[in-house]
Structure 1
Amino acid sequence: MQLQADGALDLDRLLARLADDAPACAALADHFRDEDFTVAAEAVAAGWGLSPDGLGERLAGRPVLRRQAAPPAGWLPIAVLPAEDAVDWAFFGARRLTESFFADSIEAVRFSPLNRLLRLRTPLAALDGLAGPTPDGLVFHMSRCGSTLLGRMLGAPTAATVLSEAAPIDQVVRADLPLAKKVALLRGVTAALGRARGAGDERLFLKLDCWHAMAFELFREAFADAPWIHLYRAPEEVLVSHARSIGMQMVPQAVGPAVFGLAAPLVPDADYQAAVLAAIGEAMLAAFAADGGGLLVNYDALPGAAAGRVLPHFGWSPDATEAQAMAAAALIDAKAPGQAFRPDGAGKRAAVDPAIRGACEDRLDGLHRRLEAAGAERI
């Protein structure tokens, strides 16, 4: 019995030590088969004079390890849960975030043996004052308008990281907390996500969810000096895209109408979707008028506008290798990286039905013209 107790205690000691030892975690993260991982973890433990019992059971889903301080760089927050006073972390090591969305990057690592063995949770206070970078640029957008393409271009050079619609950021934005607390959490979670870990450490960009336009003041309070852009597109093309495959921002049960200052619709039809896009566009127009750090970019100007306007706005003069990586990224379908990019504007315009046309006339055509005019005035 004593040997079993000692073995269980050694497992706890192993997990606690691993949580603070990023190089040891990085070595273990290279093992993807449970059998190989267990052998490697036992070797690490032996080197530390430990003989842990229960690695297999832990891999099968034992409770999380709770700690007070943020783990070292290499660990990234994957969920911020204000109602539970909790931040969940996963080990990425020096793995680049090459996926189009942060959610896909999480899925690539969360079921690895290391992240099943060592599931970390801290209180929100672990993010307070965490040292890390502030964003080099913020990407706002109206949805379905080239933001994923631009994000993949910005993240193509190995020295850059793009946090694309990262859930931990959205969970802070939509939390029911005082503004000052949200500002502190937003800074902390961004610092945690962007800390130097040997992967894309020179530049950091936030590609935000489209409804974050409604939280512009929060982002401005948190990152007062960060340049920002707003991407937009011909509204009928955006609505056709949502008609074909509806985005969560158009589903009232997923993103509440109150986020956009709207009442709950009887049916989330083309008119409601147009109202959502109008709320985003009006918020961005107001921000652009009040703030000198913005740039308005029409989808039709991509990908050329990335080098011609966006990069200079973000203060980045890429070298030849970086420019080549971005140009290569522009040739690939941003949401289906195994396929080549094919323009789809003409096909979407041909698919506009009377409901979409009417919704655009009522709510979006005038807004689109104002966006075009405002952007042209500042070129």
Structure 2
Amino acid sequence: MENINHPLLNWIPIKLIEKDNEIYFEWLYLADLKYDDPFFDETIAKCKSHTYNSKPFKAVSILENLRDWSNELISVELKSLVFHVSRCGSTMLSQSLATSSENIMISEAPIIDQILRSDHFSWDEKTLLIKSVIKLLGQKRFPEQQHLIIKLDAWHIFNVDYLRSIFPETPFALLYRNPIEVLKSHQKMAGMHMIPNLLPSDVFGITAVEINEISFQQYRVLVLEKYFQGFLDFYDIDQNVVRLNYNEGMKNVIEKFISYIKVDYGATELDKMYERLKKHSKNDNAIFTGDSYKDEDLQIDFKKLIALYKKWDNEFITS
């Protein structure tokens, strides 16, 4: 294999570090660990105990190192970026795809979010960094690996135009679900992006005035409105997009996604993907019996959200 003798094989950048007004990148050694956890930070946590990663001094580099080293390693082809509205089957999609030995499935890598939200770089520097990081994360570490798929954080829909400028030919996927079900899921346990000010409100295009005028619960509705509007805006101008609806069933989602990215998996690989659907997305030791929110009552105004969802769904039906 091309990378077998390269000293950076199995090393990946995982974090930005700011020190003395300079930016550095922390690196992590993966050994033979594959990206098969529900979220990328879980994979990072597993690697922390490795001898190379538990030393008092961390492995760090500068921006120029990242660029140069990424060009020295062979990476697999980027097949798709997956955008989603949260609690819509994105983790199940990524977990199913991760079962294939042909795939490198990266699920919400923190370093990609750090770069996208950083104020320390020009747009040209960000572009260089995003490309370099993705190449390094997607380095070919095992002979059978052929396809790189990246699931982004939900709020990265607001970076979709910029990401399209970087990857003009890459198929993008927009995964969604009935927003009432999404809200009821967050009512049981809210994700960080659904809690005001855990992420800067300007990430979502939400002003401080808007936050002060609405309730904690209504904030979640506003975030979802922004997501669906972002989906609508991008879909209006971009044709290299596949729309994936959780409510049509995850097997249908997987089949449609695979067809769109034009990957011909063998029967064994497909069987593993479909078998994974029987387990809980975040715990492959637990059987998935479906989720239901019939008893959850939402004391909020979601008329605008439903209108956006119906507009999105109508475009889906008629397109």
Q: Which amino acid in 2 is paired with 1:277? A: L
Higher strand share: 2
Q: Which amino acid in 2 is paired with 1:122? A: S
Give the whole-Å Cα distance in 1 for the aligned partners of 2:7 and 2:273. 33
**Equivalent position to 2:88, from 105, 123, 145:** 145
Equivalences for residues 69-84 of structure 1 within 5 A:
72-81=8-17, 84=22
Sequence identity (%): 26
Give the whole-Å Cα distance in 2 for the aligned partners of 1:181 and 1:209. 21
Give the whole-Å Cα distance in 2 for the aligned partners of 1:166 and 1:184. 17
Q: Which amino acid in 1 is paired with 2:82? A: V
- Please report the TM-score for the alignment, with normalisation by the length of structure 1: 0.76
**Equivalent position to 1:88, from 10, 18, 26:** 26
Unaligned regions of 5+ residues in structure 1, if any? 1-20, 24-69
Unaligned regions of 5+ residues in structure 2, if any? none
Q: Give 1:189 shift.
A: 0.5
SS at match of 2:224: helix
Determine if contact 1:96/1:199 at 8 Å carries over to the other structure: no
Equivalences for residues 169-188 of structure 1 within 5 A:
169-176=112-119, 177-188=121-132
Give the whole-Å Cα distance in 2 for the aligned partners of 1:116 and 1:123. 21
Determine if contact 2:82/2:151 at 8 Å carries over to the other structure: yes
Q: Give 1:338 shift.
A: 1.7
Give the whole-Å Cα distance in 2 for the aligned partners of 1:217 and 1:115. 36
Equivalences for residues 147-296 of structure 1 within 5 A:
147-176=90-119, 177-198=121-142, 201-264=145-208, 265-266=211-212, 269-296=216-243
1:107 has 2:48 as partner: no
Give the whole-Å Cα distance in 2 for the aligned partners of 1:222 and 1:133. 17
Give the whole-Å Cα distance in 2 for the aligned partners of 1:261 and 1:368. 19
Give the whole-Å Cα distance in 1 for the aligned partners of 2:262 and 2:113. 26
Return closer, same or farther for 1:244/1:307 CA change in 2, 3 Å cut-off.
closer
1:308-339 deviation digits (Å, cap 9, x = unpaired): 31101111121111101101111111112221
| Structure with greater contact order relative to length (CA < 8 Å, sep ≥ 6) | 2
Higher helix share: 1
**Equivalent position to 1:366, from 286, 301, 307:** 307
Give the whole-Å Cα distance in 2 for the aligned partners of 1:298 and 1:232. 5
Number of aligned positions between the proteins: 306
Aligned partner of 1:40 in structure 2 is none
- Please report the TM-score for the alignment, with normalisation by the length of structure 2: 0.90
Larger radius of gyration: 1
Q: Which amino acid in 2 is paired with 1:95? A: L
Determine if contact 2:94/2:105 at 8 Å carries over to the other structure: yes
Aligned partner of 1:353 in structure 2 is 298
1:154-173 deviation digits (Å, cap 9, x = unpaired): 11101111110000111111
Return closer, same or farther for 1:304/1:281 CA change in 2, 3 Å cut-off.
same
Determine if contact 1:211/1:260 at 8 Å carries over to the other structure: yes
| Aligned-residue RMSD, C-alpha | 2.0
